[in-house]
Structure 1
Amino acid sequence: MPSGPISVDTHLADILAQVRPLSAYPQPLLEAVGLPVAEDVLSPRSVPIFDNSAMDGYAVRYADVASATTDSPVSLPVTGDIHAGAPSAHPLSPGTSMRIMTGAPVPMGADSVVPVEWTDAGVTQVQVRRAPTLGEHVRPIGDDVTKGDVLVRAGDMLDPRRIGLLASVGIDQVVVPPRPRVVVMSTGAELVEPGRALHPGAIFESNSFLLTAAVRATGAVAYRARSTSDDPAAFLEALEDQLVRADLVITSGGVSKGTRDVVKMALRSEPAMQFRQVAMQPGKPQGFGFVGSDRTPLFALPGNPVSTYVSFEVFVAPALRRLIGRSPVSRPLFRARLTEAVQSAPGKRQYLRGQFIADQDGTRVTPVGGAGSHLLAGLGAANALIVLREDRSDVPAGESVPVMLLDREF
């Protein structure tokens, strides 16, 4: 164990080196939204499956209507109606037409469709007043997808557009990893559930709500456990109860140097747990390791709310993305111009709450709220974290700095 604080990058690298993706298996299409596919998905058929009409109108042979104009319309008998989902019972004979709806199969013998707007909309006899080009308004077989095309490549995330594409070729299942099941636990005898009466010295418990919401925003399944007391035995009992439904556990509080830091006291004898000081602000005390017979990853985060949230974004969210095989694992950093000067503690990577704006004048970021790691109002107003390197202490207004955008999907 290092004698002094380790860097953010070292701690994150150690975590990611130990976290393994969950095993993928076939799942229903809608259960796979937001997950990466584990293998290439090939189309089992061409789409369209048959030639179909792109317009409401009349199926015709081009040769029969090529000369049609407004001044010299072509008149054709209408020998049938074709609706979407109901194929024509017979082929189109030369010199005739069939009424056809959008999406309906083009009958054998027809090679073009005349939109109803180019006709007199006749029912038994139609006057064609404008000629289509050969094949116009016909969607041919395979116009969109050809059988064997790679629709989604391994690692691609299944967004709504890709889900629609897979459904359009008849795929109802896809091989993806499961959504990680994450148990969130808070510790502290002073914590009271929101909605209940506060007793002297108590505060409302917010960390588990913050973390549960953050977990769900990543696409994982979150279970919020009730906060536990400062008794190590009670904490271990509660943890053991939760492990049966957890692919990952997050605790908050009880990891610093206090005399009643319950998480550290309860888990410090676990050989696969490490408690470290990380050169960052907020979020210096960190714990990570594995617990239980199934070696479930456990993140022991600091208890101040802003420290908890920053730690989640920097360390836990990348681990969750690694569990489901998503890439990149960490939020990308963008650049923005500081609207006012800021200060940072030398030797620590600083994460300041900020309000990021991008408009015609470029990108800029304004610090919001105080520096205290207990100040949630500033975090609530922020949509970004200003990231200052360990070698920066005074950064003037107008300088371009890295920012982590918190509301942006990646």
Structure 2
Amino acid sequence: MSLSCFDLGERMLSVDEALEAILGFAAASSPAHETLPLAALRGRVLSEDITSPVNVPQNTNAAMDGIALAWPVGQQSQRQVQEQGQKHAPLALPECWALVGESLAGHGYRDEVPEHAAVSITTGAPMPPGTDTVIMSEQLEEAPPEAGRERVRVTRPETVKVGQHVRQAGEDVPLGAVALTAGTRLAAEHLGLLASLGVDRARVSRQVKVAIFSTGDEVTAPGEPLPMDGIFDANRFSLHGLLTALGVEVIDLGILADSSQGMVSALRDAAAAADMVITSGGVSVGQADWIKPALAETGELGFWRIAMRPGRPLAFGRLGSERVPFFGLPGNPVAVMVTFLQFVQPLIRRLQGEHAWQPLRLMARAEESLKSRSGRVDFLRGVYHADESGQLWVRSTGRQGSGILSSMVAANCLIEIAAPCAGIEAGETVTLQPFMHRG
């Protein structure tokens, strides 16, 4: 099977066949790139590997407030002796230590620390030359001065371990290591990592532009008077939210009436302005469905039927000489969101350079019997939770009609029932897809 031949025609495709064909469309695509400052990178996809120009941390430093000291040569801690299974410990760590200075974060102690002496140190401060161990403040108490020097006493010295509470230079990210790979979608933690490397900008895939519009004489924009036979346009705003969550630039073309020539003109204009075009409604076999004929005039139709519920009528093709990918999603609002998550989202992520992305799937036990029909994949709106033992359980949100958008609001996942299954009995294992776009 090859979508490039556009030979799928009228055949009903499985979900896997449809997804393979859609992703195959992007196999030869190479996204354009741009370089952006660090503050503008959230949600964007890296176009190149980021190699660390420094050690992170730059210096070996203290992980706790306390004192830094050099472990006496030839001695082991009582803890080390126990770990090694020895019966007798060498000489114990000295209880009292003279203080010869301090090492502060941003202002390290640069001199060599004498034997049996220590330096006060704060969290993040560089370890002074020759020191290798930190004893935290909670394990220290003041001792009488000696020879004009302050001293501290270590309580429970047998619990101290050589090298404790020390962060080694480069233990997070060593110099020259690949810190982030191309194809990474940058979240807050990635921005923090880049900043810790001193990276103030990065090369990312150019923002994908997606044109959306709704179709149908009955569709009315929110805020306008609702005609007797009208419905408010929910689909365009659901799509807008789903797209912006993926870092997409949305071109909102509004609502188009049921008109063949109007549809042809709109598709041509959208293809010239966007990297992808998405419509909702008008792709089934109804008398007033204009998308398929208009697509035949302005581009090519790859397929339009998938063995799934909701979302069986889904048209996929390409528009104009630009070969812009086109999705004609169903008209029912739940079907729009389900088909977007299964098919549109993977293609957008692929076009953005996120080639390794896979949807998160979890296994749970059904709290109740779940209806399905063999021969198609059913996506039910569900609510999952973990019991006290950590076992995941899932139940449906009730009525599963593809026009019941409130069931999507009540859900935190889709329950995915595979095509061979005629239903799921209570207690059986089922696959679920958490709603990762929320939050």
What amino acid is aligned across from residue 91 of structure 1 in structure 2?
D
d(CA) in 2 for partners of 1:364 and 1:138? 43
The answer to whether residue 343 in structure 2 is matched with residue 315 in structure 1 is yes
Residue among 16, 37, 41 paired with 2:23:
16
Match of 1:86 in 2: 107
d(CA) in 2 for partners of 1:315 and 1:139? 45
* Cα offset, 1:300, TM superposition: 0.7
Task: State the Cα deviation string for residues 341-368 of structure 1 (Å, max 9, x = none).
Answer: 5243x54333333333432474443333
d(CA) in 2 for partners of 1:134 and 1:343? 62
Residue among 2, 5, 9 paired with 2:9:
2
Match of 1:354 in 2: 382
**5+ residue gaps in structure 2?**
1-7, 74-91
Aligned 8 A contact 1:182 1:247 in 2:
yes
Aligned 8 A contact 2:36 2:203 in 1:
yes
The answer to whether residue 327 in structure 2 is matched with residue 327 in structure 1 is no
**168-177 vs 246-255, greater mean Cα deviation:** 168-177
| Residues 143/368 of structure 1: CA separation in 2 closer, same or farther (3 Å cut) | closer
Task: State the Cα deviation string for residues 178-218 of structure 1 (Å, max 9, x = none).
Answer: 34332221112222222332122121110011122222334
What amino acid is aligned across from residue 22 of structure 1 in structure 2?
P
Residue among 252, 269, 283 paired with 1:255:
283
The answer to whether residue 360 in structure 2 is matched with residue 339 in structure 1 is no
- Normalising by structure 2, we get a TM-score of 0.76
- RMSD, matched Cα: 3.6
d(CA) in 2 for partners of 1:61 and 1:334? 52
Aligned 8 A contact 2:267 2:298 in 1:
no
| Residues 174/290 of structure 1: CA separation in 2 closer, same or farther (3 Å cut) | same
* Cα offset, 1:261, TM superposition: 1.9
| Residues 317/404 of structure 1: CA separation in 2 closer, same or farther (3 Å cut) | farther
| Residues 98/281 of structure 1: CA separation in 2 closer, same or farther (3 Å cut) | closer
Task: State the Cα deviation string for residues 243-288 of structure 1 (Å, max 9, x = none).
Answer: 4553222110111223332323322223433452223232222211
Aligned 8 A contact 1:247 1:297 in 2:
yes
Residue among 222, 234, 244 paired with 1:206:
234
* Cα offset, 1:406, TM superposition: 3.6
Percent of aligned pairs with the same amino acid: 34
SS state at 2:379 partner: strand
SS state at 2:105 partner: coil
Match of 1:376 in 2: 405
Aligned 8 A contact 1:67 1:74 in 2:
no
| Residues 100/3 of structure 1: CA separation in 2 closer, same or farther (3 Å cut) | closer
The answer to whether residue 47 in structure 2 is matched with residue 45 in structure 1 is no
* Cα offset, 1:76, TM superposition: 4.5
- Normalising by structure 1, we get a TM-score of 0.81
SS state at 1:225 partner: strand
d(CA) in 1 for partners of 2:163 and 2:153? 17
What amino acid is aligned across from residue 105 of structure 1 in structure 2?
P
Match of 1:233 in 2: 261
| Residues 260/167 of structure 1: CA separation in 2 closer, same or farther (3 Å cut) | same
SS state at 1:317 partner: helix
What amino acid is aligned across from residue 111 of structure 2 in structure 1?
P
Residue among 100, 105, 120 paired with 2:126:
105
Residue among 151, 165, 179 paired with 1:127:
151
What amino acid is aligned across from residue 412 of structure 2 in structure 1?
N
d(CA) in 1 for partners of 2:257 and 2:175? 60
Match of 2:312 in 1: 284
What amino acid is aligned across from residue 51 of structure 1 in structure 2?
T
d(CA) in 2 for partners of 1:189 and 1:402? 40
Aligned 8 A contact 2:264 2:298 in 1:
no
| Residues 182/174 of structure 1: CA separation in 2 closer, same or farther (3 Å cut) | same
- Summarize the alignment of residues 261-280 of structure 1 with structure 2, pairs less than 5 Å apart: 261-280=289-308
**5+ residue gaps in structure 1?**
none
> What count of residue pairs does the alignment treat as equivalent?
401
SS state at 2:394 partner: strand
Aligned 8 A contact 1:21 1:322 in 2:
no
* Cα offset, 1:239, TM superposition: 4.2
* Cα offset, 1:311, TM superposition: 1.6
| Residues 122/83 of structure 1: CA separation in 2 closer, same or farther (3 Å cut) | farther
| Residues 331/261 of structure 1: CA separation in 2 closer, same or farther (3 Å cut) | farther
| Residues 309/149 of structure 1: CA separation in 2 closer, same or farther (3 Å cut) | same
What amino acid is aligned across from residue 377 of structure 1 in structure 2?
S
d(CA) in 2 for partners of 1:388 and 1:197? 40
What amino acid is aligned across from residue 283 of structure 1 in structure 2?
G
* Cα offset, 1:313, TM superposition: 2.0
d(CA) in 2 for partners of 1:308 and 1:400? 29
d(CA) in 2 for partners of 1:143 and 1:121? 35
What amino acid is aligned across from residue 260 of structure 2 in structure 1?
P
SS state at 1:269 partner: helix
The answer to whether residue 82 in structure 2 is matched with residue 54 in structure 1 is no
SS state at 2:244 partner: helix
Aligned 8 A contact 1:356 1:364 in 2:
yes
d(CA) in 1 for partners of 2:434 and 2:98? 64
What amino acid is aligned across from residue 18 of structure 1 in structure 2?
F
